[in-house]
């Protein structure tokens, strides 16, 4: 990625994602209104708000996966490390490489654990031929990072879809790592997991902070509180408040935020 | 209802009263059950009938060696009739084989387009069109083979006859393609969207997503589609009769005329004396065909069903 002046400015203040008057429509329905956000590099930022307020929509516009739907229209800009990912000359594949995504329901591909880990890696490293040993190393390293290696090391050829949901979700995080993304998007990554699995995945996310800039959507406020450094509160497609997580939960600046935190929106 | 109970109920409505609705309900249940099992009854019935008709031949004139290994199908030979179906099997197999070569890329391509690329009205329109194609009577396809493909092949390849494996294979391939497309399209649609989304989010292009994720995930259904196509090829009669040239032949090239098992039965059954060895031999071919298509269709069905379940 070439260095331009904008990038160096953002890098100086340590911004991973910067959005500028982001508006988004599904057909005629406007789902995001003038979203202006600065999300810091290397931090875990959580995104909270009542169901339907546009959290997923915002997240999914940061790797442009929203565009799978033909009827989505966007105005404004999103910079990822200083580069506007909606600029016309941008290669979608490069965006996806830089911005990894973990979905609400774990979605390993119906292939082996090993193949799942290597899937993205193979897509993005086609010019160079990797030996089996290289690949083994990548698989091991990725699985170690998500604390899954010891559990699956003897079953790398097993179907990934046969793992428990917690393991599947960890695998879905692990398969992003060989691609070396700088941003990880997670859309309610624990909502399909039981409390034990949730705790394990949260712990993992906490481990990964610093190395990656992580933006995590959650409807679980305890989780936002435990597992994030900054917190963004959204309501009806708008950003209401963005502060340190600790401040948000102790001294919210807006009435809506306070209402939500106290559970008045459900 | 007992006498005592009736007295106790007095003027209250009799809760055990069966009115007309009850009888209609029972009748409908019964009819639905009957039509449900009629498929089984018919299949078993047909199989039994065909077997009985062929049985005499099986026990008397039948020689396993001659039947399957002799290329001579000469049931009307005065001195020494022979009943070898090797050439007929070669005819059926070569035509079906070529048909699959034509139909697989065709149907896979259109299934991928319809399932993965077309959307909205275009998709609906194409699906209807495919259904319509599947409904074209086989005699029409045979006619196309006779009157369009035949002169075309003669012109293009400079061969004396255009009724041959090439002609019948293409015709049969086009005939089988719609049903194969339908089944393949179902199989592709059955692949959960999560997989596509996952692969796309990892940076796959549209084609990489299809090639590396969707097709492998749908491979059983696609195989089922191909098997159904093969079953169709084995069983097809009229178009094959019209387009192959109907000449008994172990083919050496696609320009050779051949004769199919089905076409042999169709062409000869009317001219044989009921109960004669020739007649019974034709029924034995029927048993053979029935068994093969049954196995093929059954496995196709099981494979396709397997996917629906998982
Ligand atoms: N694919 C879609 N098509 C049309 N509207 C959508 C689509 N996805 C989400 N929406 C609408 O956009 C709004 C925001 O949805 P979403 O981002 O999923 O909210 P959240 O993740 O905060 O629950 C909702 O009103 C929802 O109905
Ligand atoms: Mg959501």
Please state, for a pLDDT cut of 70, what percent of chain B lies above it. Answer: 95
Cβ distance A93 to B203 less than 8 Å, yes or no, reads yes
Residue A6 has pLDDT above 70, yes or no: no
Cα–ligand 2 centroid distance for A237 (angstroms): 12
pLDDT band at B5 (very low <50, low <70, confident <90, very high): low
Collect all residues of chain A within an 8 Å Cβ-Cβ radius of residue B213: 109
Residue A177 has pLDDT above 50, yes or no: yes
Residue A170 has pLDDT above 60, yes or no: yes
Q: Which residue of B has its CA nearest to A172?
A: B198
Residue A266, in any domain of the structure: no
Q: Is A57 in the pocket of ligand 1 (CB under 6 A)?
A: yes
- Pick from A23, A24, A26 the residue to mutate for probing ligand 1's pocket: most ligand atoms within 8 Å of its CB: A26
Residue A168 has pLDDT above 90, yes or no: yes
Task: Give chain A's contact residues with B (Cβ, < 8 Å).
Answer: 63, 65, 68, 70, 93, 96-97, 100-101, 103, 105, 107-111, 119-120, 123-124, 172, 175-176, 179
Q: Which atom of ligand 1 is nearest to the CA of A58?
A: 17
Cα–ligand 1 centroid distance for A69 (angstroms): 12
Residue A257, pLDDT score? 92
Residue among B199, B203, B217 whose CB faces A124 most closely: B203
To probe the interface with B, which of A100, A109, A121, A184 has the most B CB atoms within 10 Å?
A: A109
Range of the domain at A191: 6-261
To probe the interface with A, which of B123, B202, B205, B217 has the most A CB atoms within 10 Å?
A: B202
What CATH number corresponds to the domain at position A66? 3.40.50.300
Residue B79 has pLDDT above 90, yes or no: no
Residue among A65, A97, A120 whose CB faces B197 most closely: A65
Mean pLDDT of B256-267: 95
Residue A119, in any domain of the structure: yes
Q: Is A218 in the pocket of ligand 1 (CB under 6 A)?
A: no
Give the closest-approach CA distance of A25 to chain B in angstroms: 20
- In this structure, of A245-254, B11-20, B45-54, the range with the lowest mean pLDDT score is B11-20
Q: Which atom of ligand 1 is nearest to the CA of A69?
A: 1
pLDDT band at A262 (very low <50, low <70, confident <90, very high): confident
Give the count of Cβ contacts less than 8 A between chain A and B.
52
Residue among B119, B203, B212 whose CB faces A70 most closely: B119
Mean pLDDT of B35-58: 90
Residue among A68, A97, A108 whose CB faces B203 most closely: A97
Residue A166, in any domain of the structure: yes
Residue B4, pLDDT score? 57
Residue A127, in any domain of the structure: yes
Residue A1, in any domain of the structure: no
Average pLDDT, chain B: 90
Please state, for a pLDDT cut of 90, what percent of chain A lies above it. Answer: 70
Mean pLDDT of A63-74: 91
Average pLDDT, chain A: 89
pLDDT tens figures, B141-171: 999 999 999 999 999 999 999 999 999 999 9
pLDDT tens figures, B222-234: 999 999 999 989 9
To probe the interface with B, which of A120, A126, A177, A181 has the most B CB atoms within 10 Å?
A: A120
Q: Is A252 in the pocket of ligand 1 (CB under 6 A)?
A: no
Residue A264, pLDDT score? 72
Residue B310 has pLDDT above 60, yes or no: no
Residue B301, pLDDT score? 86
- Beta-carbon contacts of residue B289 (< 8 Å; ≥ 6 apart): B234, B235, B261, B262, B265
Mean pLDDT of B270-291: 92
* Residue matched to tokens 């203040």: A13
Residue with the smallest CA separation from ligand 1 atom 2 is: A26
- In this structure, of A174-188, B12-26, B86-100, the range with the lowest mean pLDDT score is B12-26
Residue A35, in any domain of the structure: yes
Residue B11, pLDDT score? 66
Residue A2, pLDDT score? 45
Cβ distance B216 to A110 less than 8 Å, yes or no, reads yes
Residue A1, pLDDT score? 42
Mean pLDDT of B111-123: 93
Collect all residues of chain A within an 8 Å Cβ-Cβ radius of residue B205: 93
Residue B308, pLDDT score? 63
Q: Which atom of ligand 1 is nearest to the CA of A49?
A: 22
- Beta-carbon contacts of residue A79 (< 8 Å; ≥ 6 apart): A6, A10, A15, A17, A18, A19, A20, A85
Residue B254 has pLDDT above 60, yes or no: yes
pLDDT tens figures, B24-34: 999 999 999 99
Domains of chain B and CATH, by start: 87-269+292-309 (1.10.3720.10)
pLDDT tens figures, A88-129: 999 999 999 999 999 999 999 989 999 999 999 998 888 888
Please state, for a pLDDT cut of 70, what percent of chain A lies above it. Answer: 94
Q: How many CB atoms lie within 10 A of CB B309?
A: 5
Residue A157, in any domain of the structure: yes
Cα–ligand 1 centroid distance for B287 (angstroms): 59
Residue A10, pLDDT score? 47
Cα–ligand 1 centroid distance for A31 (angstroms): 7
Torsion angle of C-alpha atoms A79, A84, A85, A88, degrees rounded to 10: 170
Mean pLDDT of A182-197: 90
Domain total for chain A? Answer: 1
Task: Give chain B's contact residues with A (Cβ, < 8 Å).
Answer: 119, 194-205, 208, 212-213, 216-217
């Amino acid at each position: 990625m070439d260095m331009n002046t904008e990038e160096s400015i953002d890098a100086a203040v340590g911004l991973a994602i910067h959005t500028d008057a982001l508006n988004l429509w599904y057909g005629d329905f406007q789902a995001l209104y003038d979203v202006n956000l600065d999300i810091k590099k290397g931090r875990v930022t959580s995104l909270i708000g009542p169901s339907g307020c546009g959290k997923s929509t915002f997240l999914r516009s940061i790797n442009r996966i929203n565009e799978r739907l033909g009827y989505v229209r966007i105005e404004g800009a999103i910079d990822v490390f200083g580069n506007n990912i909606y600029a016309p000359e941008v290669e979608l594949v490069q965006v996806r490489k830089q911005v990894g995504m973990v979905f609400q329901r774990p979605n390993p591909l119906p292939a082996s654990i090993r193949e799942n880990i290597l899937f993205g890696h193979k897509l993005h490293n086609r010019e160079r031929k990797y030996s089996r040993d290289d690949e083994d190393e990548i698989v091991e390293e990725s699985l170690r990072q998500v604390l899954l290696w010891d559990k699956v090391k003897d079953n790398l050829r097993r179907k990934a879809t046969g793992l428990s949901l917690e393991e599947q979700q960890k695998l879905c995080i692990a398969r992003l790592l060989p691609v070396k993304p700088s941003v990880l998007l997670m859309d309610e990554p624990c909502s399909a997991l039981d409390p034990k699995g949730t705790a394990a995945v949260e712990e993992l996310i906490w481990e990964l902070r610093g190395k990656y800039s992580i933006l995590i959507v959650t409807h679980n406020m305890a989780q936002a509180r435990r597992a994030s450094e900054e917190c963004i509160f959204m309501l009806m497609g708008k950003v209401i408040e963005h502060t340190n997580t600790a401040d948000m939960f102790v001294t919210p600046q807006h009435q809506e935020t306070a209402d939500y935190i106290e559970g008045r929106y459900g | 209802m007992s006498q005592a109970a009736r007295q106790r109920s007095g003027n209250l409505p009799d809760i055990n009263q069966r009115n007309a609705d009850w009888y209609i309900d029972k009748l409908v249940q019964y009819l639905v059950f009957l039509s449900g099992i009629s498929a089984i009854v018919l299949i078993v019935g047909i199989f039994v009938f065909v077997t009985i008709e062929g049985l005499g031949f099986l026990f008397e004139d039948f020689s396993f060696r001659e039947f399957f290994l002799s290329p001579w199908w000469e049931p009307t030979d005065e001195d020494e009739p022979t009943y070898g179906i090797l050439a007929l099997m070669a005819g059926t197999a070569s035509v079906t084989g070529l048909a699959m070569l034509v139909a697989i890329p065709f149907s896979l391509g259109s299934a991928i387009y319809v399932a993965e690329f077309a959307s909205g009205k275009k998709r609906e329109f194409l699906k209807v069109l495919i259904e319509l194609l599947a409904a074209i009577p086989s005699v029409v396809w045979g006619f196309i083979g006779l009157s369009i493909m035949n002169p075309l092949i003669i012109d293009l390849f400079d061969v004396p006859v255009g009724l041959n494996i090439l002609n019948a294979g293409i015709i049969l391939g086009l005939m089988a393609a719609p049903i194969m497309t339908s089944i393949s399209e179902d199989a592709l649609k059955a692949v959960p969207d999560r997989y596509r989304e996952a692969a796309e989010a990892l940076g796959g292009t549209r084609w990489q997503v299809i090639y590396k994720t969707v097709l492998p995930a749908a491979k059983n259904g696609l195989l089922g589609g191909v098997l159904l196509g093969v079953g169709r090829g084995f069983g097809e009669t009229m178009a094959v009769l019209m387009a192959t040239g109907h000449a008994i032949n172990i083919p050496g090239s696609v320009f050779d005329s051949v004769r199919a098992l089905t076409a042999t039965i169709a062409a000869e059954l009317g001219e044989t004396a009921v109960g004669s060895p020739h007649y019974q031999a034709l029924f034995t071919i029927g048993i053979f065909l029935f068994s093969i298509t049954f196995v093929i269709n059954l496995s196709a069905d099981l494979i396709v069903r397997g996917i629906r379940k998982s």
